[in-house]
Amino acid sequence: MIEVQNIGLKLNQRDILKEINLKLESGKIYGLVGNNGSGKTMLMKCICGFVKPTFGEIVVDGRRIGKDVDYIPNCGIIIETPGFISYYSGLKNLKVLASIKNKISIEQMKDTMKRVGLDPNLKLAVKKYSLGMRQRLGLAQAIMEEPSYLILDEPMNGLDREGVEEMRKILLSLMNSNRTMIIASHNAEDIKVLCNQVYRLDNGIIELYDM
């Protein structure tokens, strides 16, 4: 479970997040909606441990982010544009990332690439990938180690209609393993199809949103 306990974030004298309280349970997909600058991405960064809230705490499975652990454990993440080593192939990029924990085999990496619609044998450098291919690779790195948590900021960005349908099916299939997933999207249809519960952020204030 992820518990967001009364967090606030102030940057450059501006309140980015205001007294956010959430309890996010396993086995559910939670949606975040709101205009640009509403605080969605900053909330995700706080949950991940990338940004420290000005006050309040984030607790994941009983451990406080920034105190008991630096970052959210066992989590797959896409926030903003996924970054890769541009002159490496997709598979080589995944090998580099997987070497940090050494949890999965090359075959598992290849299987994950196939799952998101990429050819693991393609030698093309990532700098020559289309935006949609880069987004697919971003999802591959997020899910390849079978994390308990997924935090995905605009995961459908750059995908065509067919690609969006494929990604929705993949994300829904992942919930069979009792994960917790948070998705931010500007696409109302993504949120409607995927999410069990939706929250709207407006000027740093969060509220339950009825789609």
For residue 43, pLDDT over 90 is answered with yes
Q: What domains are defined for the chain? A: 1-74+150-211 (3.40.50.300), 82-147 (no CATH)
List pLDDT tens digits, range 53-68: 999 999 999 999 999 9
User: pLDDT digit string (tens) for 67-95?
Assistant: 999 999 999 999 977 789 999 999 999 99
DSSP reduced 3-state for 9: strand
Whether 193 shows a pLDDT value over 90: the answer reads no
Asked if residue 97 lies in contact with residue 106, where contact means CB atoms within 8 angstroms, the answer is: no
The DSSP line for 148-209 is: SEEEEESTTTT--HHHHHHHHHHHHHHGGG--EEEEE-S-HHHHHHH-SEEEEEETTEEEE-
How many beta carbons lie within 10 A of that of residue 121, not counting itself? 11
Give the mean model confidence (pLDDT) for residues 9-33: 92
What is the pLDDT confidence band of residue 211, given thresholds at 50, 70 and 90? Answer: low
Q: Are strands 55-60 and 2-11 parallel, antiparallel or unpaired?
A: antiparallel
> Using CA atoms, how far apart are residues 141 and 183, in angstroms rounded to an integer?
16
204 φ, ψ to 5°?
Answer: 85, 0
pLDDT of 22 above 90: yes
Rounded distance between C-alpha atoms, residue 89 and residue 126, angstroms: 5
DSSP per position, 14-38? EEEEEEEEEEE-TTEEEEEE--TTS
pLDDT tens readout for residues 139-155: 999 999 999 999 999 88
Average pLDDT on 22-50 reads 92
